[in-house]
Amino acid sequence: MTLLADIERLVTCESPSTDLAAVARSADVTAEVGSALLGAPPDRIVLDGRTHLRWRLGSGPRKVLLLGHHDTVWPIGTLARIPFEVRDGVLRGPGCFDMKTGVAMIFHAVAALGSPDGVTVLVTGDEEIGSPSSRGLIETEAREHSAVLVTEGSADGGALKTERKGTSMYEVALHGRAAHAGLEPERGVSATVEAAHQVLAVSALTDLAAGTTVTPTVLTSGTTTNTVPAQARFSVDVRVRNLAEQVRVDRAMHALRPVLDGARVEVTGGPNRAPMELSASAGLFELACGLAGFELAQAAVGGASDGNFTAGVGVPTLDGLGAVGGGAHAESEHVLVSELAPRTTLLAALVKELT
């Protein structure tokens, strides 16, 4: 099966997002696989040292953007521990589910249509770190199209992703005043104590009923055990289901004020990805159900993807059209081989209908 061979080529070229040389090597392999199937080389777009690939097929108006990424979370050397393999109908290997199988599926689905006009394929190289260099490219491309199809892995049981939470990321820095913890602690202003107050304030912004989570994560403070800490810092991960909640939390984060006299609070960061709300995907999901020939489910998920960007600029977007499997970012990552053909056929049918 040619699709399996192409997935193997992509998976066995390791591409952690933070290793620019590895991402460039992966771009070379991805370009070779895609060019062989699409009949043309891609535009190679290097932004901040990261390599992105774009194929613009046909000369007519842009209609459908097929979106994926070739970077992964796995460090170089993971293949030695988790090799590519297909056993008992299950495909494994680092990045197979998230999302190199989906990239291969794009190439095979488009190739099955011959020479579709108005189709753009965009495969980026920094999605796993928040798409810092490719976001503008993704949003610009999306605005030229009437629909975006994202081949990230499916939700549980093969469900398509019709809602994705938006994400915001913050750093909260606490500035106090150092003093000897034994001799004159009263002269100090503890950044650790201020951090404790602020962590509780930030956590209180969570609204589970609205689907909003505000989670303090990494926390650092102090220098030595006998010094009142002058500096502390913690990170905050925010997930929201709608734009109103993202705005509410952002305002509250930037309105944080110190509790201790003499302390100072500095907040940086903000929204990274807008939520992909159901209204952005409803029409495309209905179309997919009519074309599939098998039952499709839909799911709202907490994780974000580049589909958040395209939905955020107002372009209808359907996500989760890639591999059926699971274990993204985990050693259990896998793909169900039996689902590859029907899902690739569905992707091709969607592209055909939309063009």
Strands 64-69, 325-326: pairing kind? unpaired
Query: How far apart are the C-alpha atoms of 170 and 120, rounded to whole Å?
Result: 34
Q: Which among 127, 128, 277, 319 is annotated as catalytic?
A: 127
According to DSSP, residue 330 is labeled S
DSSP notation for 297-309: -EEEES---THHH
Provide the pLDDT for residue 303. Answer: 86
Q: What is the mean pLDDT of each run of 10 residues along the chain (355 residues)?
A: 94 97 98 97 96 96 97 97 97 98 98 95 96 97 98 96 96 98 97 98 98 97 97 97 96 98 98 93 98 95 93 96 96 97 98 97
DSSP notation for 149-173: EE-PPP-GGG-EEEEE-EEEEEEEE
Q: Is the pTM of this model over 0.85?
A: yes
pLDDT in tens, 161-209: 999 999 999 999 999 999 999 999 999 999 999 999 999 999 999 999 9
127 is catalytic: yes
Q: Which among 6, 8, 14, 71 is annotated as catalytic?
A: 71
| Helix intervals (H) in the chain | 2-11, 20-38, 78-81, 101-111, 135-143, 191-203, 243-254, 278-292, 307-312, 340-354
Query: How far apart are the C-alpha atoms of 23 and 132, rounded to whole Å?
Result: 14
Full set of structural domains in the chain with CATH? 2-165+275-354 (3.40.630.10), 167-273 (3.30.70.360)
Provide the pLDDT for residue 1. Answer: 61
Taking Cα atoms as reference points, which of 17, 47, 12, 57 lies closest to residue 30?
12
339 is catalytic: no
Query: Token pair of 5, please?
Result: 């061979």
Give the three-class secondary structure for 319.
Answer: strand
Provide the pLDDT for residue 42. Answer: 98
Provide the pLDDT for residue 115. Answer: 85
